[in-house]
Amino acid sequence: MPKYTKKDYWIIGSLLFLSLVPSIAGAIRLLQLVTGANYTVENQRFFNDPIPVFVHIVAVIVFSILGAFQFAPGFRKKHIVWHRRTGKVLVGLGLFSALSGLWLTIMYPKVPTDGDWLFSIRLVVGIWMAFCIIWGYRSIRQKNVVRHSHWMIRGYAIGMGAGTQVFTHLPWFIFVGGDPSGIPRDLMMGAGWLINFLVAEWMVRKKSL
């Protein structure tokens, strides 16, 4: 019977920690939409069309939390049936996350603090995440476990971009203060996804050796 190792606890704990701030922020946003609290010009778009943002937030939160347990080897081997069943749910949640994110990018009015680059970055990220998850699902249907693992790592990493963006924004909040806008915001948002992309590729290369 497989046993949990320090590596399992480290992987699950780290991914849950990375999910913490975005999950709390998402829960607060949902509460605001339900109660109508803190209505401002900046978040007006959410109140005018709340369903897509509801779908996006719920899908991202559950995707990030459940996904944290999928990549710990000992946990996965000990709970292989749970892994498979949850994996099917995560495919749907991941696609909901990516596609609702694309919907929000295309259909919602531009946020005043967003620069000119962020729209294109979000399109690339959303399409890439959807592609990774679809390819990961296709791979496991073809019984290619290794390729499935690689593509799901990539898809999950992009889905966790909001967690890394907390850290890419941190120096700005500490040394500059206030909310960034324009090119600095675009770069910090893009850096979160880029870091996760690079870490995912490093993990895939490491697993391939």
pLDDT in tens, 112-155: 889 999 999 999 999 999 999 999 999 999 999 999 999 999 99
Quick one: pLDDT at residue 64? 96
Q: pLDDT band at residue 28, thresholds of 50, 70 and 90?
A: very high
pLDDT band for position 102 (cuts 50, 70, 90): very high
Q: What local confidence, expressed as pLDDT, does residue 200 receive?
A: 97
Nearest to residue 154, comparing CAs of 205, 83, 105? 205
pLDDT score of 41 more than 70: no
Report the first-to-last Cα separation within the chain, whole angstroms. Answer: 26
Tokens coding 78: 């000990």
pLDDT at 40 over 90: no
- Give the per-residue pLDDT at 4: 78
The per-residue pLDDT for 146 is 94
Model-level pTM? Answer: 0.92
User: Which residues, 6+ apart, have CB-to-CB distance to 78 below 8 Å?
Assistant: 1, 2, 3, 4
